[in-house]
A and B are shown apart, each in its own frame.
Chain A
Amino acid sequence: MSTVGIIVNPNAGKDIRRLVTPATHTSDVTKVGIVRRAIVAATESGAERILLAPDRHRLAERAADGLDAPIQIVDEPITGSRYDTIAAARRFWKEQVGAIVALGGDGTSRDVALGWPDSPLVAVSTGTNNVFPSAIDGTSAGAAAGFVATGAVALDEVGRRSKRILVRIDDADSSVDDVALVDLAFVDTDFIGARAVRDPHTVSRVVAAIATPTSTGLSSIAGRLHPVDRHAPGGVLVEMGAGERSIRVPLAPGSFTTMSIADVRSLADGEEIVFTGRTILAFDGERDRTVGDDGRVAIRIDSGGPILIDVDRTLQLAAERRLFDPPTKTSDHGDVHGH
């Protein structure tokens, strides 16, 4: 059965950065609207089943309300944390979902990747720094996911494997594996606190897998020094500190700061780099893990991330294949409105 899965991160687009920058606030109503549009469009594209991830804000229920579509909200425990996204992605893998539409920022896509590493993904930006996801309407996102899920457009034709930054943290007591999709930063603060990395003086090192001049957030540092396309192998390592060069970067949307650069170098695909000692690691822009004095952080970039679906290409192929034509010339295919 052709299935589209939809995940919406209720927490995306609401953190502290809105106080200090003109970053977008994405309300729940906005998110519900995007999901509704994606449901309608995926159904229009022929998806036989729409699975929605549950969330603490009940955005999935609100989006599904009153729609005439084969919707099912999957039964998963709700924690109100990022683990809801991780669990939903894993569940979608078990349910053999053909394409996921995920609403959030870089961190949300990261959580999808943790739950289902090679998920077929349409990433819709509703977060703060949206390097990995794209600003695309739910209608197009849902339509593309629907065509891929039905096989009318093959995933091989429009999907490309993303890179990921694999991180292993070892200390005397434990060993943890984690993933970032865009950037990993070493932050010299004592606390995770309000999570977002805002103070340039606290950033000592950035590893980026995607670093384009159009990036915002930490990856913009590398993006302005040593751009690395999302599809090029490997990445870049930037060490902050006194050096010959400093650079102006948008550490958050609409907010520029000067960073002093000590060193920049390429990282080859699969090359491992290791750092030791106390730090806080920020994954895709958010402080998330503390590393103790005896900690060891091993990092490498590979191409094992989600299979990112090219929405433009999918819909172009759909048009070429006349997939938007009604089923028969005589059928009464009525208008569908998602409200």
Chain B
Amino acid sequence: MNISPEVQFDLHRRMVRIRLFEEAAGRLAEAAKLPGFLHLYVGEEAVAAGVCAALNDDDHITSTHRGHGHLVAKGGDLNRMMAELMGKSTGYCKGKGGSMHISDLSLGMLGANGIVGAGSPIAVGAAFANRYRKKGQVAVAFFGDGATNIGAFHEAANMACALHLPIVFACENNEYGEFTPRDQTMAITDIVDRAAGYGMPGVIVDGMDAIAVHEATLEAVERARAGGGPSLIEAKTYRFYNHHGVQNLGLKYRSDDEVARWKERDPIFTLEDRMIENKVATRQQFDDIWADWRAAIDRAIQFAEESPLPTPDQVLVDVYTTGGAR
């Protein structure tokens, strides 16, 4: 298939939004303006953009501790996201959840998740519900390579396949579980080798190439919508910053050369180069896109900074349900 210029620009804009949001968040964290942990998605933008551009607004995703990119790509409100990172009452979780608990049910984003591997069973639940709704919705579970070593992933993949659910497992294999190289925690190299064990197809795509990710996701989503069941996409990708925060905290678990090699394949700049080469876009158009979204991020920061902190009487509000099952 050929990806239309409109979709190419869409993929590009989603990635630029993620990049700018994350770099702004990184700067704010370094300036001690963001409380809590911050796991930046910079470098992996092609995965969230390529996947989410293949989804409808009412399709579901579950995310990870590195979840900003997924919500931004699904259309998340930058103001509410930035406010949440700053712990402000206008944030997605009223300032009480922080980076790893943002969700937006109106966009089908069922939540970031601080527990590695915990998103996949939730996506299976959504897929199970979607099958009964019969509206053709699919669910996508984002997770990392390390999450596939967790029991919850195994249970989710097994149940999804046993029930033949409309779900796509989207693995962001960035080669490190926190600070540990993948080969020290598993005896296989390709996560996709696990797929056959559950009874689903699995494919590898270049996770630094939004077009490649998008092509694969279109196929996987179409397959799921048509009743073809689960599939697994393994996107080989890389995070440009540390496991959390911006600095490496003095931990040299990745060589500078390795980081530099991956940065040469920056997913945004390689897409821009190719679109210009194809005469689909001009440098000026890209400059304008970057400028527009920089302004949007600046507005989000201003919105967050001007928003109030939650008041002490809100500490126990939204913690326990009072209405029973709904």
Which of A's residues lie within 8 Å of B, judged by CB?
10-11, 14-20, 25, 27-29, 56-58, 188-195, 198-199, 202, 290, 292
Total residue contacts A-B, CB cutoff 8 A? 90
Nearest residue, chain B, Cβ from A59 = B189
Contact residues of A: prevailing secondary structure: loop
Nearest residue, chain B, Cβ from A23 = B201
B1 close to chain A: CB less than 8 A: yes
With contact pairs A19-B231, A25-B192, A28-B190 given, residues A14 and B203 touching in the complex (Cβ less than 8 Å): yes
Which of B's residues lie within 8 Å of A, judged by CB?
1-3, 8, 183, 188-190, 192-193, 195-196, 201-206, 209, 211-212, 214-216, 219-220, 223, 231, 233, 274-275, 277-278, 280
Whether A19 lies near B219 (C-beta < 8 A) is yes
Whether A25 lies near B223 (C-beta < 8 A) is no
Whether B3 lies near A190 (C-beta < 8 A) is yes
Inter-chain CA distance A49–B11, complex, in Å, is 51
Nearest-CB distance from B52 to chain A (Å)? 17
Whether A25 lies near B196 (C-beta < 8 A) is yes
From A18, A19, A191, residue with most partner B Cβ within 10 Å: A19
With contact pairs A27-B196, A28-B193 given, residues A190 and B274 touching in the complex (Cβ less than 8 Å): yes
Whether A202 lies near B277 (C-beta < 8 A) is no
Nearest-CB distance from A294 to chain B (Å)? 12
Nearest residue, chain B, Cβ from A187 = B2
Between A and B, 22 residue pairs with Cβ closer than 8 Å are A10-B189, A16-B203, A16-B205, A16-B212, A16-B216, A18-B202, A19-B203, A19-B219, A19-B231, A19-B233, A25-B202, A27-B188, A27-B190, A190-B3, A190-B278, A193-B212, A193-B214, A194-B205, A194-B209, A194-B212, A202-B1, A202-B2
Whether B203 lies near A15 (C-beta < 8 A) is yes
Nearest-CB distance from A291 to chain B (Å)? 11
Inter-chain CA distance A157–B183, complex, in Å, is 44
Nearest-CB distance from A106 to chain B (Å)? 18
Q: Which 10 pairs from chain A and chain B are nearest by CB?
A: A57-B189, A193-B211, A194-B212, A19-B219, A194-B215, A27-B193, A191-B211, A18-B201, A199-B1, A189-B2
Inter-chain CA distance A189–B188, complex, in Å, is 34
Whether A195 lies near B192 (C-beta < 8 A) is no
Nearest-CB distance from A237 to chain B (Å)? 23
Whether B192 lies near A193 (C-beta < 8 A) is no
Inter-chain CA distance A198–B274, complex, in Å, is 21
Partner of B219, one of A20, A56, A190, A290: A20
Please give, as numbers and ranges, the residues of chain B lying within 8 Å of A57 by CB-CB distance. 189-190
Inter-chain CA distance A18–B1, complex, in Å, is 16
Nearest-CB distance from B219 to chain A (Å)? 4
Whether B193 lies near A19 (C-beta < 8 A) is no
Nearest residue, chain B, Cβ from A19 = B219
Whether B183 lies near A190 (C-beta < 8 A) is no
Whether B193 lies near A193 (C-beta < 8 A) is no
From A191, A192, A198, A199, residue with most partner B Cβ within 10 Å: A191
Please give, as numbers and ranges, the residues of chain B lying within 8 Å of A19 by CB-CB distance. 201, 203, 216, 219-220, 223, 231, 233
Inter-chain CA distance A29–B197, complex, in Å, is 12
Please give, as numbers and ranges, the residues of chain A lying within 8 Å of B209 by CB-CB distance. 191, 193-194
Whether B1 lies near A198 (C-beta < 8 A) is yes
Please give, as numbers and ranges, the residues of chain A lying within 8 Å of B202 by CB-CB distance. 14, 18, 25
Nearest-CB distance from B319 to chain A (Å)? 42
Nearest residue, chain A, Cβ from B201 = A18
Inter-chain CA distance A193–B233, complex, in Å, is 15
Nearest-CB distance from B284 to chain A (Å)? 20
Nearest-CB distance from A289 to chain B (Å)? 13
Inter-chain CA distance A135–B205, complex, in Å, is 25
Please give, as numbers and ranges, the residues of chain B lying within 8 Å of A194 by CB-CB distance. 205-206, 209, 211-212, 215-216
Nearest residue, chain A, Cβ from B218 = A19
Whether B201 lies near A58 (C-beta < 8 A) is no
Inter-chain CA distance A141–B82, complex, in Å, is 60
Inter-chain CA distance A201–B2, complex, in Å, is 9
Inter-chain CA distance A11–B206, complex, in Å, is 12
Partner of B3, one of A14, A56, A191: A191
Nearest residue, chain B, Cβ from A14 = B204
Nearest-CB distance from B277 to chain A (Å)? 7
Whether B189 lies near A56 (C-beta < 8 A) is yes
With contact pairs A16-B205, A20-B219 given, residues A191 and B189 touching in the complex (Cβ less than 8 Å): no
Nearest residue, chain B, Cβ from A189 = B2
Whether A193 lies near B219 (C-beta < 8 A) is no
From A10, A11, A27, A193, residue with most partner B Cβ within 10 Å: A193
Please give, as numbers and ranges, the residues of chain A lying within 8 Å of B188 by CB-CB distance. 27-29
With contact pairs A188-B2, A190-B280 given, residues A58 and B183 touching in the complex (Cβ less than 8 Å): yes
Nearest residue, chain B, Cβ from A10 = B189
Nearest residue, chain A, Cβ from B5 = A190
Nearest residue, chain A, Cβ from B209 = A193
Partner of B192, one of A14, A29, A292: A14
- Additional A-B contacts beyond A16-B219, A28-B188, A190-B274 (15; CB < 8 A): A10-B190, A14-B192, A16-B216, A19-B223, A25-B193, A25-B196, A27-B190, A57-B190, A191-B209, A193-B211, A193-B212, A193-B215, A194-B209, A195-B212, A202-B1
